């Protein structure tokens, strides 16, 4: 137990040190923005990793909750007169409520059927966002009011770097601590075998639903942060391709690994920026690198490298 606590503390300290040190080597505000995108994507991926990596459930429509969080902070102040900071929590509450209501029936499904059901949810939310132009601006998107806290207007790439970095630290701390709670152990039991978990007294339906709701809240908060940071939002953030991107981050970094979600987000967000020098071959090389990584690191980047270092340390 002490080793696990030390591991969690070390992970948080390393992450905090990295967030604090990176600005020292950033030559321009562009790098602050890219890093902020990494933190936002990692936050959403950590939530999805709780659902997929720990609880063993599949979701191909997770960007729906990301989009709900993003549009909540846009629609709330613009149409309902809700303060931007309150709209963030309203979006999280709405995402949790939708996940609870939709999760109760669809989480009875398994495997491919569950994947298709979550895909349908994502498509439905994206369709509503695109067609309700009076509220959402339709396919063209809509502006987002700037976040103001106690008279301080949160703006600028460097400011949002620290805000999103703080959110990531908080999300990482919650996820790491959740892993060793009775709820986290129930999630792992579900991942290994739902039948075996039910035999030892785990309420399968309740814990699957809890994982779904937690993942939805993570995605909603990440979506709200991105909307505030950009000052604009469009339906692409709730689309199917964004859901696939989030799943790719989780799988590439390593299912069940909180650190893996951060590493996966860093790779998938920064790699396209690096590959822009190859112009028309950018997407080809990105896909090739991901394929090669998954062939040689089938468990994901972090679990595979951790296993390699452990084997070398023992030999």
Answer yes or no: is 237 within a domain.
yes
Answer yes or no: is 130 within a domain.
yes
Residue 171: the pLDDT is 95
Return the half-sphere exposure (C-beta side, CA atoms, 13 A cut-off) of residue 195.
0
Helix (H) / strand (E) element for 233: namely strand 232-233
CA 188 and chain centroid, separation: 19
Confidence check: pLDDT of 143 > 70? yes
- Please report which confidence band the pLDDT of residue 4 belongs to, taking 50, 70 and 90 as the band edges: low
Cβ-proximal residues to 243 (8 Å cutoff; 6+ apart), any chain? 59, 60, 61, 62, 63, 64, 119, 122
Backbone angles phi, psi at 142, to 5 degrees: -155, 155
- Cα diameter, the chain: 65
Cβ-proximal residues to 213 (8 Å cutoff; 6+ apart), any chain? 96, 99, 100, 103
94, two tokens: 């709405």
Question: Which residues on adjacent β-strands are paired with residue 148?
Answer: 153
**Best mean pLDDT range from 55-64, 113-122, 211-220:** 211-220
> To which residue do tokens 């509450």 refer?
93
- Domain of 46, in residue numbers: 2-247
Confidence check: pLDDT of 151 > 90? no
Q: Give SS3 for 42.
A: helix
Instruction: Give the span between the Cα atoms of 210 and 99, in whole angstroms.
Output: 9
Instruction: Give the span between the Cα atoms of 32 and 15, in whole angstroms.
Output: 16
Q: Are 44 and 246 in contact (CB under 8 A)?
A: yes
Cβ-proximal residues to 66 (8 Å cutoff; 6+ apart), any chain? 44, 219, 220, 222, 223, 226, 237, 238, 242, 246
| Cβ atoms < 10 Å from Cβ of 110 | 12
Answer yes or no: is 166 within a domain.
yes
Instruction: Name the domain count of the chain.
Output: 1
> To which residue do tokens 């709209």 refer?
87
Answer yes or no: is 282 within a domain.
no
Instruction: Give the span between the Cα atoms of 281 and 283, in whole angstroms.
Output: 6
- Please report which confidence band the pLDDT of residue 154 belongs to, taking 50, 70 and 90 as the band edges: confident
Q: Please report, rounded to a whole number, the percentage of residues in the chain having pLDDT higher than 90.
A: 50
Residue 3: the pLDDT is 54
Answer yes or no: is 275 within a domain.
no
Q: Give SS3 for 133.
A: helix
pTM of the model: 0.92
- Rounded to the nearest 10°, the torsion over CA 98, 104, 106, 108 is 160
How far lies 203's CA from each of 54, 56, 195, 210, 217, in Å?
15, 15, 11, 11, 21
Question: Which residues on adjacent β-strands are paired with residue 233?
Answer: 142
Region of poorest pLDDT, from 64-73, 124-133, 198-207, 237-246: 198-207
Start-to-end CA span in the chain (Å): 26
Answer yes or no: is 56 within a domain.
yes
Answer yes or no: is 135 within a domain.
yes
Answer yes or no: is 145 within a domain.
yes
Average pLDDT over residues 209-238: 93
DSSP 255: T
Q: Give SS3 for 32.
A: helix
């Amino acid at each position: 137990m002490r080793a696990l606590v030390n591991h969690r503390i070390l992970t948080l300290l390393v992450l905090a040190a990295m967030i604090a040190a990176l600005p020292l080597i950033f030559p321009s505000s562009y790098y602050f923005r890219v890093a902020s995108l990494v933190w936002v994507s990692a936050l959403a991926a950590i939530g999805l990793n709780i659902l997929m990596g720990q609880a063993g459930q599949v979701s191909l429509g997770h960007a729906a909750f990301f989009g709900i969080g993003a549009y909540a902070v846009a629609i709330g102040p613009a149409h309902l007169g809700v303060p931007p900071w309150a709209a963030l929590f309203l979006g999280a509450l709405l995402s949790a409520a939708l996940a609870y209501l939709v999760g109760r029936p669809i989480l009875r499904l398994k495997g491919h059927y569950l994947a298709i059901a979550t895909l349908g949810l994502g498509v439905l939310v994206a369709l509503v966002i695109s067609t309700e132009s009076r509220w959402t601006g339709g396919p063209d998107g809509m502006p987002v009011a700037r976040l103001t806290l106690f008279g301080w207007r949160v703006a600028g790439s460097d400011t949002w770097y620290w805000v999103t970095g703080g959110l990531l630290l908080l999300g990482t701390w919650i996820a790491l601590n959740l892993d060793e709670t009775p709820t986290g152990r129930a999630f792992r039991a579900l991942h290994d075998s739902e039948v075996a978990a039910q035999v030892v007294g785990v309420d399968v339906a309740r814990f699957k639903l809890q994982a779904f709701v937690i993942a939805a809240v993570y995605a909603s908060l990440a979506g709200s942060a991105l909307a505030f940071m950009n000052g604009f939002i469009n339906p692409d953030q709730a689309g199917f391709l964004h859901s696939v991107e989030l799943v790719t981050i989780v799988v590439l970094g390593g299912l069940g690994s909180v650190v893996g979600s951060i590493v996966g987000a860093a790779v998938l967000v920064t790699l396209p920026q690096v590959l822009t020098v190859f112009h028309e071959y950018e997407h080809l090389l990105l896909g090739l690198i991901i394929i090669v990584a998954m062939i040689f690191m089938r468990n994901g980047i972090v679990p595979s490298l951790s296993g390699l270092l452990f084997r070398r340390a023992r030999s």
